[in-house]
Amino acid sequence: MPVLYADIIVDISAGNLDRVFQYRIPSHLNGIADIGSQVMIPFGKSNRMIRGFIVNMTSRPDYDESKIKDIDQVINNELAMESQLIRLAWQIRKVYGGTMNQALKTVIPVKRQVKAQVNRYYSLTQDEGMLDAYEKRLGSDRRYKTRMELIRRLKTEGTFSREELLNVCHVSPSVVKALVSDGILVENVTRQYRRPMGQLMDTGQPVVLSPAQSQVVREICEDEQHRIHLIHGITGSGKTEIYMELIAEVVARGRQAIVLIPEISLSLQTVSRFYRRFGDRISVMNSRLSDGEKYDQYLRAKRGEVDIVVGPRSALFMPFERLGMIIIDEEHDGAYKSENTPRFHARDVAAWRARMSGAKLILGSATPSLESYARALAGMYALHTLNVRARAGSILPNVSVVDLREEFRQNNKKIFSRKLRALMEDALKRGEQIILFLNRRGYAGFVSCRSCGHVFKCRHCEVSMTAHRGGRLKCHYCGYEEPLPRTCPECGSPYVAAFGMGTQKVEGMIADEFPQARVLRLDRDSTSRKDSMDDILNRFRRHEADILVGTQMIVKGHDFPDVTVVGILAADLSMFSNDYMAAERTFQLLTQAAGRCGRDEKPGQVVIQTYAPEHYSIRCAASQDYGTFYRQEMSYRRLLSYPPVVHMLAVLAVGADEGRVQACITALAGAVRDFCREQGFEDMVIVGPADASVSKGKDVYRKVFYVKNKKYPWLIAAREFMEQHLRASSFSRDVGLQFDMDPMSMY
């Protein structure tokens, strides 16, 4: 048996992960010591025994063999949180690539003190003799006028805060310092810790679960066979209530729960429903927390002060020792995919963590991702379906599809179709509210014909091509190019152009058409200030505006009782984004957007404006028909070999020198092709290389190719090969590689 060496961290916190120490695994500990194991090691000159964790194992030592000490013993404590998180990191690295260090930094929080808010207050010394003497010394010297004034005011008013001293009394910081050191001013310091707790909002009476909801709860609790459950329930079918019931059950058994919700949907309204039910046994994580505040939540969880954490992707790594359930709401959401190396998907990592801790994983969505639904149909996940809205009297809205080509032919070149305009007028007259939704998700400047709706697509890949300078159309998937025609090949119309529209432009159009309406806008620009998303949504809910205009941010999990009209201005923007998930994303967004209205007793009207009214993603969203959409979309994926029918690994090369990036990616594609042949990996398909469509920053070039196969382990092997290959090549100095396993995000 070969000698093994272990890299060990002794202080497990993100700041110290780079400091690993190498030890030998003595033969009697072979097979016992493993990734994540807690070990005792002799440390430093004195060889005192300290505790550490194994984060890596190798057969070749990095140091002089004679200087490496032996691990003393392995403490196999399966429950140790650190061990679990390290094993999770190992798994993440194995599947998604990158270094162990990057993986560890993903699962282990930054150790940071909570910054206390420090308040300083000042009052005069109690020693009157000293004060008298001081005042005499200042005398009538004009230079000391502010000090005299300050003492006079303090005598009558008692105490000033530091801010008052500086800003109201106009005393300089150096004078304050001098007065304190002379003993004339007495400084009092108080520290306040902010603990993020939701402000409780009254969101109505607690509900009694409907028979359909109770049945799902029962099925999940009693199922001994499946670890993973998919709840497919239309918007408003009461999934959130089901989650809370499940959590209550988990907590009653003395175990803990993690609830993942996309950041965008983590509005105060959603969060307060959880607070109302579970009080301060709950911890809410969001990006508004500082590192210190996040670490404070982490410690609370570790000390067992909370049972439930609600948060985005990163909440998955809460150090719960008795984890009983992980819930992923809106499981189809793209935000569950990390954009940084390692580019993990929270759904996969959640499944691993659930298996490690014997917990159940619950996925919920009105529009499940194709891969989850496919697994559910295959019996790998238990499937639970809810077809009706939970609240009595709440019905699905009336959806109509407007053909924008027809509007164009009727000489209506405005962004509002005649139908939408009429509905908006009526709603405004009745004092009801309107949401206008601009579908910009994944929008990448596709080119289409305004009069017949023809979209220019790559003849090889069926994804939309993008216009580039010099009048060329490019496919960002396979690299195919062709000149941009002057007229439409379908109908001969000269109105061929890149499609584009912004929320600001829409706001301007509303002002022209409905000058009396009050408008709020919600998009990335208007929410750059961290808290303002809640502000805008709350103002709209309080009816401070009649119309809300926004991007995909407004379709997520917000409840607006007075909204009776939802207009989707350009449904096509996401439909022709240049990747294979475009139709799926369009269907999801439209279905969710349509679900925003008619949530109360007032019936809703949804208008979908599109150039492709016959496209199945639009038709199925209009009829809220997930089943038909799923079948159509799967046959497209099968035909062109896209996930989830096959697995797909995107390989992205990034660098400042375009020639080098091109040379690197070409060489790599060749090398991996040879590798797969040698390994006997059959049916490995390599597509590309091509220019990646989104170039971040000006002088960075990004090229991409894709490797496709049905066997996930083969793709992992190919990725490991490429990582090593690059490291050994001269490209490693100036070209960076990123890997992305499907579900692939867009480039």
Residues that bind ligand ADP (CB under 6 A): 207-210, 213, 233, 235-241, 390-391, 559
Q: Which does 56 bind (CB under 5 to 8 A by kind): Zn ion, ligand ADP, none?
A: none
Q: Nearest approach, Cβ of 328 to Zn ion (angstroms)?
A: 33
Strands 323-329 and 256-260: parallel
Residue 545, CA distances (Å) to 4, 514, 560 in order: 67, 13, 12
Place of tokens 């006028």: 145
Residue 487 gets which letter from DSSP?
S
Q: Nearest approach, Cβ of 548 to ligand ADP (angstroms)?
A: 19
Q: Nearest approach, Cβ of 544 to ligand ADP (angstroms)?
A: 21
Angle between helices 532-541 and 268-278 (to 10 degrees): 90
Q: Nearest approach, Cβ of 689 to ligand ADP (angstroms)?
A: 42
**Reduced to 3 states, what is the DSSP secondary structure of residue 56?**
strand
**Reduced to 3 states, what is the DSSP secondary structure of residue 231?**
strand
- What is the C-alpha to C-alpha distance for residues 457 and 477, in angstroms, rounded to an integer? 11
Q: Nearest approach, Cβ of 221 to ligand ADP (angstroms)?
A: 17
Angle between helices 370-377 and 626-640 (to 10 degrees): 100
With beta carbons less than 8 A apart as the criterion, state whether 456 and 464 touch. yes
Give the count of residues interacting with Zn ion (CB under 5 A).
Answer: 14
Please report how many Cα atoms fall inside a 13 Å half-sphere around the Cα of residue 652, on the Cβ side: 27
Phi/psi for 317 (5° steps) reads: -100, 20
Q: Which does 390 bind (CB under 5 to 8 A by kind): Zn ion, ligand ADP, none?
A: ligand ADP
Closest alpha carbon to 558 in 198, 212, 243, 262: 262
Beta carbon nearer to Zn ion, 65 or 490 = 490
Q: Which of residues 449-478 bind Zn ion (CB under 5 A)?
A: 449, 452, 454, 458, 460-461, 475, 477-478
Q: Nearest approach, Cβ of 169 to ligand ADP (angstroms)?
A: 53
Q: Which does 454 bind (CB under 5 to 8 A by kind): Zn ion, ligand ADP, none?
A: Zn ion
Closest alpha carbon to 636 in 685, 587, 683: 587
Q: Which does 716 bind (CB under 5 to 8 A by kind): ligand ADP, Zn ion, none?
A: none
Residue 728, CA distances (Å) to 167, 686, 701 in order: 62, 22, 22
Beta carbon nearer to ligand ADP, 322 or 543 = 543
Binding-site member from 285, 349, 488, 549 for Zn ion (CB under 5 A): 488
Q: Which does 238 bind (CB under 5 to 8 A by kind): ligand ADP, Zn ion, none?
A: ligand ADP
Residue 336 gets which letter from DSSP?
G
Q: Nearest approach, Cβ of 555 to ligand ADP (angstroms)?
A: 12
Tokens of 406: 């027809």
With beta carbons less than 8 A apart as the criterion, state whether 467 and 447 touch. yes
Beta carbon nearer to ligand ADP, 57 or 209 = 209
Q: Nearest approach, Cβ of 489 to Zn ion (angstroms)?
A: 8
With beta carbons less than 8 A apart as the criterion, state whether 297 and 229 touch. no
Beta carbon nearer to ligand ADP, 1 or 208 = 208
Please report how many Cα atoms fall inside a 13 Å half-sphere around the Cα of residue 407, on the Cβ side: 22
Q: Nearest approach, Cβ of 693 to Zn ion (angstroms)?
A: 12
With beta carbons less than 8 A apart as the criterion, state whether 244 and 279 touch. no
**Reduced to 3 states, what is the DSSP secondary structure of residue 704?**
strand
Strands 159-161 and 20-25: unpaired
Beta carbon nearer to ligand ADP, 206 or 304 = 206
Q: Which of residues 682-721 bind Zn ion (CB under 5 A)?
A: none
Residues that constitute the known binding site for Zn(2+): 449, 452, 458, 461, 475, 478, 488, 491
- What is the C-alpha to C-alpha distance for residues 691 and 33, in angstroms, rounded to an integer? 45
Tokens of 103: 């993986």
Beta carbon nearer to ligand ADP, 239 or 313 = 239
Beta carbon nearer to ligand ADP, 238 or 319 = 238
Q: In what order do the strands lie in the sheet with 308-311?
A: 282-284, 308-311, 256-260, 323-329, 360-365, 228-233, 382-386
Beta carbon nearer to Zn ion, 475 or 669 = 475
Beta carbon nearer to ligand ADP, 7 or 241 = 241
409 binds Zn ion (CB under 5 A): no
Q: Which does 460 bind (CB under 5 to 8 A by kind): Zn ion, ligand ADP, none?
A: Zn ion
Bridge partners (DSSP) listed for residue 54: 8
Stretch that binds Zn ion, among 93-101, 300-308, 484-492, 705-713 (CB under 5 A): 484-492
Beta carbon nearer to ligand ADP, 209 or 484 = 209
Beta carbon nearer to Zn ion, 218 or 460 = 460
End-to-end CA, the chain: 45
Contacts 24+ apart (CB under 8 A), 60-65: 60/5, 61/5, 61/22, 61/24, 62/5, 62/22, 63/22
Q: Which does 241 bind (CB under 5 to 8 A by kind): Zn ion, ligand ADP, none?
A: ligand ADP
Q: Nearest approach, Cβ of 215 to ligand ADP (angstroms)?
A: 12
Taking CB under 5 A as the rule, which mask of x and - marks residues 600-639 in contact with Zn ion?
----------------------------------------
Q: Which does 493 bind (CB under 5 to 8 A by kind): Zn ion, ligand ADP, none?
A: Zn ion
**Reduced to 3 states, what is the DSSP secondary structure of residue 200?**
coil
Q: Which does 230 bind (CB under 5 to 8 A by kind): ligand ADP, Zn ion, none?
A: none
Binding-site member from 480, 616, 636, 712 for Zn ion (CB under 5 A): 480
| DSSP element (H, E) containing 666 | helix 658-679
**Reduced to 3 states, what is the DSSP secondary structure of residue 690?**
strand
CA 623 from centre of chain: 29
Q: Which does 671 bind (CB under 5 to 8 A by kind): Zn ion, ligand ADP, none?
A: none
Q: Which does 560 bind (CB under 5 to 8 A by kind): Zn ion, ligand ADP, none?
A: none
Beta carbon nearer to ligand ADP, 203 or 398 = 203
Q: Which does 490 bind (CB under 5 to 8 A by kind): Zn ion, ligand ADP, none?
A: Zn ion
Q: Nearest approach, Cβ of 286 to ligand ADP (angstroms)?
A: 19
Q: Nearest approach, Cβ of 329 to ligand ADP (angstroms)?
A: 7
The verdict on whether omega for the bond into residue 206 sits within 30 degrees of 0, i.e. cis, is no
> Residues interacting with Zn ion, by CB under 5 A?
449, 452, 454, 458, 460-461, 475, 477-478, 480, 488, 490-491, 493
